[in-house]
């Protein structure tokens, strides 16, 4: 029994030393710690490293293990989500994200092939949607309205290969060409929301074409009256 007891003491001593090293590396003093419980309490008081992240730039890029974005991620402080979840092939669900300060979402969810639902993204400040959802082939619903009012470049690669997408709502004013022909399962409600959000160019005398490409399958779902919502505002509907 004495030998077994000594082994336990050595193991506890080793554990204590490892905890001491970890806590010290985090910049926390262990001078007052005497028991294992003291060390456990010190570890519990250390903030999770992710709480100190201030930018989503490539944060989870090519992480094939995460199924959800960690709840402690301080996304409300981010101004960029550039490639944040690029290639996260196990990501299945994205909750309501406080992205009101984000101006860059390029490639944010590129290649998230298992992602099936996004509860909400605040997109009112983003300037480009380049390949934002490209390859999200399982994505069926985006439940919070997408506001692309400040997007400055054509929205032509945002929804490539989003073949399962059914539900998406738009708000604000879309001032650039947009293509959603890669999403043939869109509901009529989603399509009419898109057409309603298109900017009014009916008095534009520049001669510039404004293109909204929803594809033949989606186009066939709309009545002439519904299509006119876009064409009466100077858009070419395809």
In angstroms, rounded to a whole number, what is the distance separating the alpha carbons of residues 182 and 139?
A: 12
57 and 32, same domain (yes or no): no
Q: Print burial letters for 37-47: b (CB count within 10 Å at least 16), e (below 16).
A: eebeebeeeee
List C-alpha distances in Å: 172 to 68, 150, 180, 219. Answer: 28, 9, 17, 22
pLDDT at 1 over 50: no
The pLDDT tens digits of the residues spanning 153-197 come to 999 999 999 999 999 999 999 999 999 999 999 999 999 999 999
In angstroms, rounded to a whole number, what is the distance separating the alpha carbons of residues 237 and 191?
A: 12
pLDDT at 3 over 60: no
Q: What is the mean pLDDT of the chain?
A: 88
- Residue-range definition of the domain harbouring residue 199: 52-237
What is residue 47's DSSP assignment? P
| Residue 156 confidence (pLDDT) | 94
CATH of the domain at 122: 3.80.10
Q: Report the number of distinct structural domains present in the chain.
A: 2
| Residue 28 confidence (pLDDT) | 65
Half-sphere exposure of 76 (CA within 13 A, CB side): 5
20 and 104, same domain (yes or no): no
Helix ranges (DSSP H) in the chain:
2-25, 36-45, 188-197, 215-219, 224-231
pLDDT at 6 over 90: no
38 and 108, same domain (yes or no): no
The pLDDT tens digits of the residues spanning 31-60 come to 777 776 776 676 655 555 554 456 888 989
């Amino acid at each position: 029994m004495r030998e077994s007891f000594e082994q336990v003491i050595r193991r506890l001593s080793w554990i204590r030393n490892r905890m001491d090293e970890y806590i010290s590396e985090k910049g926390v003093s262990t001078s007052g710690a005497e028991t294992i419980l003291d060390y456990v309490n010190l570890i519990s008081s250390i903030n999770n490293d992710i709480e100190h992240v201030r930018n989503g730039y490539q944060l989870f890029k090519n992480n094939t293990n995460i199924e959800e974005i960690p709840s402690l991620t301080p996304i409300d402080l981010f101004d960029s989500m550039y490639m944040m979840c690029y290639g996260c092939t196990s990501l299945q669900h994205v909750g309501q994200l406080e992205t009101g300060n984000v101006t860059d979402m390029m490639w944010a969810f590129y290649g998230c092939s298992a992602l099936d639902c996004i509860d909400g993204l605040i997109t009112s400040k983003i300037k480009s949607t380049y390949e934002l959802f490209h390859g999200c082939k399982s994505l069926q619903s985006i439940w919070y309205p997408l506001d692309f009012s400040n997007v400055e470049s054509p929205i032509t690669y945002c929804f490539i290969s989003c073949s399962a997408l059914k539900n998406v709502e738009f708000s604000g004013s879309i001032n650039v060409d947009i293509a959603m022909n890669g999403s043939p399962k869109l509901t009529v409600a989603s399509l009419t929301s898109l057409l309603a959000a298109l900017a009014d160019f009916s008095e534009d005398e520049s001669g510039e074409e404004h293109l909204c490409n929803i594809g033949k399958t989606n186009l066939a779902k709309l009545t002439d009256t519904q299509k006119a919502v876009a064409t009466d505002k100077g858009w070419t509907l395809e």
